[in-house]
């Protein structure tokens, strides 16, 4: 804990905040709670987990499947019952219908909040409850409806996902944070939920009288492939989130995380600069996955090096998330500065660490890291990029342009920015833009920042006739003609 306390203090001294990853759904099978629970049926912690008898013929209690392959039930010979696990068998689900479990997990939050942490990312919130009657799921297998489920994806998830009552649990998490939150030290909570319907994700905001997360992760952009990476599709996904939320629901955007291939791998290295530009100029909070600020790609992880259970349990390496989880590339040394030389890291270091690393980019004024730092600086300095405003100007296959402005009726040009991105494959396109309702500022502008870091900002830009290369982006301060 001394190391953690030193880390937290150093982060706060730098004016930053530290969020912890809170995983309430399950514990390790090596946790003392589970060891006690599995020891005998009369254990005081027996109902802290979900134990059931089999189906009478040696099989599990029902047809529920694990996300990582196989039945979601594991037989335990100690007491002759099965325990439930949505994820791996080494991760038994806690029983959140037990008041003792809820109280214990609230105390986990309080422990860290008392130490001074600033909040939590709450993992997999939609998995906290399951149908108490353990009813079988219906499944779709080879186009046929059946109760013979062969995977988690085949299930309809009527009884195993987003069950009634889980929002009450999320609200109770928020209540604990609010116990510690004040004007000088606000506490923060973001929730993770992948759901087929956006409206179900938006519900995680809660409401004014029953708040839940400060915001749930917005994954609308993270699933876009290179073929979907067009101005039209981007504008539609941006509008979908903004239209689904109210003015008091703070927006956010995610382009990369530990469950998806890295941006530079998904979209191509040439497009990763424009992707960061988009992320850091949209309204609301951007979430950057480690390494995206230097343009890291997926690492090469062989089958013998694979540790992700989603691949190991299915025998399918294409399901592995290990490539996007390789160690951070700090420098050119052995193990990329992530671990000491000679140490065997959990996952192999990418061989690209020799040319893509922090140390190299720190001295390169044209690097991705330099771009990222400059984007952060301009966000911090300009009210137009801090307030949750967004106005689409145009969206085509190749071009996306939008305005960020602050107090538009009375603001000066310094508070009005036009963002233009070329997300197409064409080397250069010619743009002809007008900025409606801003006649005093519509004809020209000054490029304050370009994704390529090559534009000469001393030359005014004619909005009616300019070119922009593939993968480039401009942040244009609007000026009068």
Active site residues: 123, 192
Specify the 3-state DSSP secondary structure of 453. Answer: coil
Task: Give the number of other Cβ atoms within 10 Å of residue 331's Cβ.
Answer: 16
Place of tokens 């009288």: 209
Nearest to 393 by CA among 404, 407, 379: 404
Specify the 3-state DSSP secondary structure of 478. Answer: strand
Alpha helices in 15-67 (DSSP H): 32-39
Paired residues of 287 in beta bridges: 254
399-414 burial: b if 16+ Cβ within 10 Å, else e: bbbbbbbbeeeeeebe
The upper half-sphere exposure of residue 198, i.e. CA atoms within 13 Å in the direction of its Cβ, equals 13
∠ CA 375-378-383, rounded to 5°: 130
State the DSSP code for 139.
Answer: E
Burial (0-12, 13-18, 19+ Cβ within 10 Å), 186: middle
Contact 8, 117 (CB under 8 A): yes
């Amino acid at each position: 804990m001394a190391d953690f306390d030193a880390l937290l203090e150093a982060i706060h001294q730098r004016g930053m905040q530290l969020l912890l990853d809170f995983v309430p759904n399950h514990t390790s099978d090596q946790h003392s709670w589970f060891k006690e629970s599995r020891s005998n049926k009369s254990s005081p912690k027996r109902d802290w987990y979900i134990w059931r008898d089999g189906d009478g013929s040696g099989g599990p209690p029902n047809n529920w499947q694990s996300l990582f392959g196989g039945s979601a039930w594991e037989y335990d010979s100690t007491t002759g019952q099965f325990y439930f696990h949505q994820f791996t068998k080494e991760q038994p689900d806690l029983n959140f219908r037990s008041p003792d479990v809820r109280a214990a997990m609230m105390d986990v939050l309080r422990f860290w909040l008392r130490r001074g942490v600033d909040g939590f990312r709450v993992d997999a919130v939609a998995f906290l409850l399951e149908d108490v009657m353990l009813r079988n799921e219906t499944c779709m297998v080879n186009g046929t409806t059946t109760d013979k489920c062969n995977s988690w994806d085949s299930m309809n998830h009527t009884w195993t996902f987003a069950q009634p009552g889980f929002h009450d649990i999320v609200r109770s998490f928020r209540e604990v944070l609010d116990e510690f939150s004040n004007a000088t030290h606000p506490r923060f909570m973001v929730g993770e939920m992948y759901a087929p319907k956006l409206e179900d994700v938006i519900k995680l905001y809660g409401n004014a009288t029953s708040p839940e997360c400060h915001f749930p992760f917005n994954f609308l952009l993270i699933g876009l492939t290179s073929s979907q990476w067009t101005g039209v599709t981007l504008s539609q996904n941006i509008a979908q989130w903004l239209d689904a939320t109210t003015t008091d629901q703070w927006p956010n955007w995610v382009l990369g995380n530990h469950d998806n291939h890295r941006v530079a791998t998904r979209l191509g290295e040439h497009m990763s600069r424009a992707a960061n530009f988009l992320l850091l100029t949209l309204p609301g909070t951007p979430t950057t996955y480690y390494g995206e600020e230097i343009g890291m790609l997926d690492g090469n992880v062989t089958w013998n090096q694979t540790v992700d259970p989603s691949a190991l349990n299915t025998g399918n390496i294409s399901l592995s998330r290990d490539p996007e989880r390789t160690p951070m590339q700090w420098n050119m040394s052995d193990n990329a500065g992530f671990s000491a030389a000679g140490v065997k890291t959990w996952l192999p270091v990418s061989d690209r660490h020799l040319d893509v690393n922090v140390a190299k980019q720190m001295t390169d004024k044209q690097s991705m890291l330099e771009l990222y730092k400059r984007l952060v600086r301009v966000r911090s300095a300009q009210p137009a990029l801090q307030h949750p405003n967004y106005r689409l100007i145009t969206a085509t296959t190749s071009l996306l342009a939008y305005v960020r402005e602050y107090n538009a009726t009375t603001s000066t040009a310094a508070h009005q920015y036009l963002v233009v991105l070329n997300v197409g494959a064409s080397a250069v396109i010619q743009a002809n833009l007008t900025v409606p309702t801003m006649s005093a500022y519509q004809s020209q502008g000054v490029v304050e920042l370009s994704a390529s870091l090559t534009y000469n900002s001393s030359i005014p830009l004619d909005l009616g006739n300019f070119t922009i290369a593939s993968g480039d982006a401009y942040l244009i301060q609007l000026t009068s003609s």
